[in-house]
């Protein structure tokens, strides 16, 4: 359990280095399961999700060591265990062990994954795909057992709805197929392509033949070793940009290619913010206050990322003049952060957008509730007041931290599940280096 004490209201200046992506780096480590040779991965962030993946690989017989602060060396030559430890599933990305272990050993035992309290994020889209590849699935006491008799055969599988990690899981499971597997309606997220690039460098034959169609031509087991680097974290880049905007615009953010931030940048430009890029370093060049209110709808890539939504909502509530409308279509329960921001003065109203059905949302149709509020109206501008708040998930937690830094006075953030540290490497040190007055206790 963490608690952050923040004395806000300071203008922050300096350079903010963006780390390896939370939604990419830990998954790259799992690709080592498909090789019997040494693999080296760079730009791997040191946060809990990474260590959960490392612990699982070690428990299964792999050897792992950090050769540098953000470089991990793994050898899975002696993998002997097909059961993923229960504790590993506190990190959502470890569902990729399903596909990797099936491909390596033909069987896997795994416990239902955990994650943030922003939606149920069930495994049905993963498991339906595994069945299509030939997997035989049984469930016993919250444990899932899967067997694959032989290598996957040629098939074409279409995902019912977009699934980022479901796409990655089937890619990993399909690498050693006996012909060609085609995955349709596949996720387009850049983290997926980062995984594909790594696997291809290891000897896989994977190609995105259309924006949402991926072709996997089977190769013989096993893949060879690799040296590969994680992409930077586009969610952290957006976080640092929001931080700069809330605290005076004096921060340079490195490791932030514009291409991976385009939907976020487009909204910023539309509401009155000008940015300056020097290579992959971005900074704020002009803020036209008050910002214009706007309407945002979250969507799968290449749309506006759901994890950017709390950041933009905070910015609009703080610095725009008028009412903005936010429509959340990815997760069914992402408004806890607003109840916390209301303690700091943010005014909002939840509502159910008209004219939308279950099929318009990315969560499972069964989770759709005609009485639920999938929209929020926020009114700005708001002079934030210091408060004592709670972190309910990774992005809500960082929202509380940013709001506290933009507030004159002392705020306290309770983070009982260490959500903030799950998503942001060395966050206290990074913020302190910019001039923030923040302590973890």
**pLDDT of 345-399, one tens digit each?**
999 999 999 999 999 999 999 999 999 999 999 999 999 999 999 999 999 999 9
Collapsed DSSP state (helix, strand, coil) of residue 310: helix
Listed in order, strand segments (DSSP E) in 211-259 are 213-217, 226-229, 250-254
Residue ending a domain, among 175, 208, 229, is 229
φ/ψ region of 43 (left if φ > 0, alpha if ψ in -120 to 50, else beta) reads left
Q: Cis before residue 114, ω within 30 degrees of 0?
A: no
Q: What percent of the chain has pLDDT over 70?
A: 98
CA-based nearest residue to 392, from 324, 332, 333, 317:
333
Residues of the chain predicted below pLDDT 70: 113-122
Beta bridge partners of 183: 157, 214
In this structure, the answer to whether residues 72 and 128 fall within a common structural domain is yes
In this structure, the answer to whether residues 245 and 178 fall within a common structural domain is no
The encoded tokens of residue 364 equal 């499972």
Per-residue model confidence (pLDDT) at position 122: 67
Using DSSP, how many helices (H) and how many strands (E) does the chain show?
A: 13, 23
In this structure, the answer to whether residues 313 and 247 fall within a common structural domain is yes
Total domains, the chain: 2
Residue 104's domain comprises: 25-229
In this structure, the answer to whether residues 123 and 83 fall within a common structural domain is yes
In this structure, the answer to whether residues 173 and 85 fall within a common structural domain is yes
In this structure, the answer to whether residues 259 and 134 fall within a common structural domain is no
In this structure, the answer to whether residues 107 and 13 fall within a common structural domain is no
105's CB contacts (< 8 A; 6+ apart) are 79, 82
CA distance 118 to 217: 36
- Reported as a single tens digit per residue, the pLDDT across 13-60 is 999 999 999 999 999 999 999 999 999 999 999 998 999 999 999 999
In this structure, the answer to whether residues 242 and 137 fall within a common structural domain is no
CATH assignment of the domain containing 294: 3.65.10.10
Per-residue model confidence (pLDDT) at position 82: 96
Residue ending a domain, among 204, 229, 254, is 229
Beta bridge partners of 349: 377
In this structure, the answer to whether residues 245 and 206 fall within a common structural domain is no
In this structure, the answer to whether residues 225 and 236 fall within a common structural domain is no
In this structure, the answer to whether residues 198 and 240 fall within a common structural domain is no
In this structure, the answer to whether residues 247 and 212 fall within a common structural domain is no
Residue-averaged pLDDT of the chain: 95
Residue ending a domain, among 229, 244, 265, is 229
pTM of the model: 0.96
């Amino acid at each position: 359990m963490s608690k952050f004490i923040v004395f806000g209201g300071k203008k922050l200046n300096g350079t903010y280095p963006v780390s390896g992506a939370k939604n990419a780096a830990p998954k790259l480590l799992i690709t080592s399961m498909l090789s019997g040779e040494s693999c080296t991965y760079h730009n791997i962030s040191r946060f809990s999700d990474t260590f959960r993946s490392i612990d699982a690989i070690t428990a299964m017989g792999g050897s792992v060591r950090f050769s540098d602060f953000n470089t991990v060396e793994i050898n899975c030559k002696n993998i002997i265990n097909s059961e993923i430890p229960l504790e590993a599933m506190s990190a959502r990305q470890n569902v990729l062990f399903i596909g990797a272990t099936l491909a390596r050993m033909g069987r896997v035992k795994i416990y239902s994954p955990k994650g943030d309290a922003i939606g149920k994020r069930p495994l049905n889209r993963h498991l339906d795909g595994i069945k299509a590849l030939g997997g035989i699935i049984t469930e016993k006491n919250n444990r899932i057992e899967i067997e694959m008799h032989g290598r996957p055969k040629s098939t074409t599988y279409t995902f019912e709805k977009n699934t980022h990690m479901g796409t990655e899981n089937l890619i990993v499971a399909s690498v050693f197929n006996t012909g060609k597997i085609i995955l349709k309606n596949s996720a387009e997220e850049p983290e997926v392509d980062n995984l594909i690039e790594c696997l291809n460098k290891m000897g896989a034959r994977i190609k995105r033949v259309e924006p949402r169609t991926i072709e996997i031509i089977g190769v013989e087991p096993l893949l060879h070793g690799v040296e590969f680097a994680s992409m930077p974290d586009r969610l952290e880049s957006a976080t640092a940009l929001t931080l700069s905007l809330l605290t005076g615009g004096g921060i340079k953010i490195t490791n932030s290619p514009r291409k991976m931030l385009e939907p976020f940048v487009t909204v910023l430009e539309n509401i009155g913010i000008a940015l300056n890029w020097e290579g992959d370093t971005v900074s704020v060049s002009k803020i036209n206050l008050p910002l214009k209110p706007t309407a945002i709808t979250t969507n799968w890539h290449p749309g506006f990322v759901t994890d950017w939504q709390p950041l933009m909502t905070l910015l609009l509530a703080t610095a725009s003049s008028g009412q903005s409308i936010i429509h959340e279509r990815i997760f069914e329960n992402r408004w806890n952060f607003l109840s916390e921001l209301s303690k700091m003065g943010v005014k909002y109203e939840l509502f159910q957008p008209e004219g939308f059905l279950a099929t318009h949302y990315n969560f499972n149709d069964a989770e759709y509730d005609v009485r639920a509020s999938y929209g929020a109206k926020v009114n700005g501008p708001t002079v934030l007041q210091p408060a004592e708040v709670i972190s309910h998930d990774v992005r809500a937690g960082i929202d509380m931290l940013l709001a506290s830094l933009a507030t004159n006075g002392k705020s306290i953030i309770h983070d009982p599940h260490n959500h903030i540290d799950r998503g942001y490497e060395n966050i206290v040190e990074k913020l302190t280096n910019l001039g923030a007055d923040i302590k973890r206790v």
